[in-house]
Amino acid sequence: MMEISKNKLEELLSAIRIREEDDDSKKLLWVLAVIGAVVAVVAIAFAVYRFLTPNYLEEFEDDFDDDFDDYFDDEEDADK
């Protein structure tokens, strides 16, 4: 009788250990899922920011070219 209860106790303990290992792996899976979700939200926010932010450098270069062209036009007018 003692042998049967000892085997049952060992089976129960092994089942509990397996369950604890599953719980640990589920926790790790949840942590990785949360980190992945945060990374995805940050990537989307960055993409939207880059798409909606105007490119001020292009506008500066265009304005600079316009001013530069006006300067040479003034010199040509003065030469005539």
| pLDDT score for 45 | 96
Q: Average pLDDT over the chain, rounded to whole?
A: 76
Does residue 3 surpass a pLDDT of 80?
Answer: no
* Region 59-65 average pLDDT: 64
- Report CA 11 to chain centroid distance, whole Å: 45
CA distance 39 to 51: 18
If phi > 0 it is left, if psi is from -120 to 50 it is alpha, else beta; for residue 76 that is alpha
For residues 28 and 73, the model is more confident at 28
CA distance 60 to 78: 27
**Which of 1-10, 21-30, 38-47, 70-79 is the most confident on average?**
38-47
What sign does the dihedral 45-51-52-53 (CA atoms) show?
Answer: positive
Predicted TM-score (pTM) of this structure: 0.48
